[in-house]
Amino acid sequence: MSHLWDDTVTSGFSDKKVYVVQTNPIALERCLLMTTDPGDLVFDPTCGSGTTAFVAEKWGRRWITCDTSRVAVTLAKQRLMTASYDYFALRYPHEGLRGGFIYKTVPHVTLKSIANNPEIDLIYDRLHPGINAALGDLNAALTAEPPAAPFVVTEGVRKGQKLRLGA
């Protein structure tokens, strides 16, 4: 392959398009393969005919896509459901694609479930005493022998401010 992507050039009238604005899958495939790894998440906020999702699925990338047009979403859904991908396991192979796929769902994560997660409390209870002890030791050392020069903050909101530690 040269630095010219001559094989991605399409004519507006000769190529069969499903949607008015449809990207060449070869160009998308090249970009996707150069910038992502299998399992990466690809986002396409302008779904159109679903070319990005189609190419992402083909190469083992996870994808999220959306569109404001119901026509575009319907076209993309139909395109993805009628495409054949080798690595899908069919739920009922004798029924073909109509039988559906074998897949795993993941639980829906909400802010409430994160806030009410008891595992976080266990982690906090386990680590907090050690953090408090380390801070106490640091404060005691700085109080006993404060640094001669003030500490200059180099990042954050207090950038440029001078702090006198142990004073």
pLDDT of residue 13: 53
Average pLDDT of the chain is 83
Residues 35 and 86 in one domain: yes
Please, are residues 63 and 43 in contact by the beta-carbon 8 Å criterion? yes
Q: What is the CATH number of the domain that holds 82?
A: 3.40.50.150
What distance in Å separates the CA atoms of residue 92 and residue 101, rounded to the nearest whole number? Answer: 8
Taking the C-alpha atoms of residue 64 and residue 16, their distance in angstroms, rounded to an integer, is 25
123 and 51 in a common domain:
no
Segments forming the whole domain that contains residue 119: 111-163
Q: pLDDT tens-digit profile of 10-45? A: 655 556 666 777 788 888 998 999 998 888 899 999
pTM: 0.47
Mean pLDDT value of segment 63-90: 83
Q: How confident is the model at residue 117 (pLDDT cuts 50, 70, 90)?
A: confident
Per the domain annotation, does 106 fall within a domain?
no
Number of Cβ within 10 Å of residue 75's Cβ equals: 19
Same domain, 122 and 90: no
Contacts for 132 with CB less than 8 Å, ≥ 6 apart: none
